[in-house]
Structure 1
Amino acid sequence: MSTWKMKGEYLKNCNCLATCPCDTEGFPSPHKYCEGIVGMHITEGNFGDVRLDGLYWAGIVHWPGALHEGNGRLQPLIDERANEEQRAAMLEILSGKNGGPLFEILAAVCPTVYPPQFVPFTWEFDKDGRHARLTAGKLLKASSEPLTVPATGEQQRVRVVMPDGFEYREMEVARSTELEASGEISFSYKNTHSSLAQVEHTQAGLAA
């Protein structure tokens, strides 16, 4: 197994209610199915001797029920700026074949994986401010903004801490104001869940 690390900014937007019941209770809501996107800006990373600093990746996902029930589908998206070695390295990590619980679990619950697409990315990320924006070619568009208190319109900060989490240990909850995907997996949502986190994934597990 190759030694690897991906440290950086992590975004997850999905069709669930804010705070993502899939993270807490294990079942999606208000829908009986789960779909959305995950994405990462690797600020520091490597796969063996291959450096991954500054690159992006994302995945568009769909499950017909709860994640642990499986039968999911995954569309990998890789930064077009990555060279051949970097592309191969990132796909090896995402495949789950080189450790890392998040990617091993994704591989187990997503038996259908579509051919990777190499596309241009745009990325804006402010974890503390709960603002984010991600585009990946013409296949993915997502944006996030802070939750607000309905009675006053003031910003509301909600932080979820998961000491034993395999995806992240702590995330800021935001509202996904725009969530659109096209291609093999397509959907369109507004005002759903968004997670913003700083993570460090390795072959041995989540380091931060």
Structure 2
Amino acid sequence: MDYTEACNCNHGCGCQFAGFPDFGSCEALICFEVKKGKHENVDLSGVKIAMGIMWPKAIHEGNGSGVLFINQDASDEQVSAMGSICSGQSGGMPFEALATTFSTFEGPVRADIKMDLSGRNPSVNIEGVLSLKNTPIKHPITGDDQNVHITYPGGGFLWNDGAICTTDSMELSHKDLKFKHPGKFAAKADVTWPNG
């Protein structure tokens, strides 16, 4: 899957190394497009997901809230399958573990998701609700784009090799879930997640 994420931490993200966010709470967007995949006999290829999520403290301390958006042209079977996967009901990491950290979680909510995860400037947009645009980190002296990665040789929780970016725009406004964090941590990766 093509995957991008962004949060309110500084570059590097304290959660990646110490398990705790830089500023006490975690406010994040997780977005991906399934290139090839299935759930039982349902083909999930082409499904687009955008999640807005918040935790008052570290993720593992729980009490999180979130919303799951799915592309509006997804079939009913795809919506049901992604709801089962992302709620942890189908099993498989990372959602089996993430689901246990939420007190409230809404969705899947059908939405007109504009998503381009190709290249070094991934972007996701749901008009009036969610906006994410990531750009490469700039060299502080030359201003050139830097190619920075965080790599977990033994395997990471969400991804094994993340191309580290910065948020040009990062905003969510959906009911009680509201935040805005430009100039913060972001990553782009190619991921393979099991379900069931």
Same fold (TM over 0.5): yes
Which consecutive unaligned segments of at least 5 residues does structure 1 have? 1-7
SS in 2 for 1:201: coil
Q: Deviations over 1:55-82 (max 9, x none)?
A: 1011100010111111111111111111
SS in 2 for 1:111: strand
Does residue 142 of the first structure (1) align with residue 132 of the second (2)? Answer: yes
Which consecutive unaligned segments of at least 5 residues does structure 2 have? none
Residue matched to 2:2: 9
Q: Deviations over 1:117-162 (max 9, x none)?
A: 1001111123xx5311001343211000010111221222111111
CA distance in 2, matches of 1:117, 1:87: 9
Q: CA deviation at 1:22?
A: 0.8
Q: Deviations over 1:1-20 (max 9, x none)?
A: xxxxxxx1011011111122
Residue matched to 2:49: 57
Normalized per residue, which structure has more strand? 1
Q: Aligned partner of 1:101: which letter?
A: M
Please list every run of at least 4 consecutive aligned residues from structure 1 whose deviation after the TM superposition is greater than 6 angstroms.
none
Q: If the length of structure 1 is used for normalisation, what is the TM-score? A: 0.89
Q: CA deviation at 1:37?
A: 0.4
Q: If the length of structure 2 is used for normalisation, what is the TM-score? A: 0.94
Q: Does the CA contact (< 8 Å) of 2:69 and 2:107 recur in 1?
A: no
Q: Deviations over 1:100-126 (max 9, x none)?
A: 121012111112112431001111123
Does residue 155 of the first structure (1) align with residue 145 of the second (2)? Answer: yes
Matches within 5 A, 1:68-147: 68-126=60-118, 129-147=119-137
CA distance in 1, matches of 2:169, 2:132: 5
CA distance in 1, matches of 2:43, 2:116: 22
Q: CA deviation at 1:97?
A: 1.2
Q: Aligned partner of 2:166: which letter?
A: R
Q: Does the CA contact (< 8 Å) of 2:83 and 2:107 recur in 1?
A: no
CA distance in 2, matches of 1:125, 1:101: 22
Q: Deviations over 1:14-66 (max 9, x none)?
A: 1111122111111111x111101001111111111111111101110001011
**RMSD over aligned Cα atoms:** 1.3
Q: Does the CA contact (< 8 Å) of 1:119 and 1:137 recur in 2?
A: no
SS in 2 for 1:114: strand
Q: Aligned partner of 2:121: which letter?
A: H
Q: Aligned partner of 1:12: which letter?
A: E
Q: Aligned partner of 2:170: which letter?
A: L
Q: Aligned partner of 2:17: which letter?
A: T
CA distance in 2, matches of 1:130, 1:28: 25
Residue matched to 1:5: none
Change (3 A) 1:118 1:137: farther
Does residue 188 of the first structure (1) align with residue 180 of the second (2)? Answer: yes
Q: Does the CA contact (< 8 Å) of 1:130 and 1:173 recur in 2?
A: no
Q: Does the CA contact (< 8 Å) of 2:120 and 2:135 recur in 1?
A: yes
Give the percent of matched residue pairs that are identical in Structure 1 and Structure 2. Answer: 29
Residue matched to 1:4: none
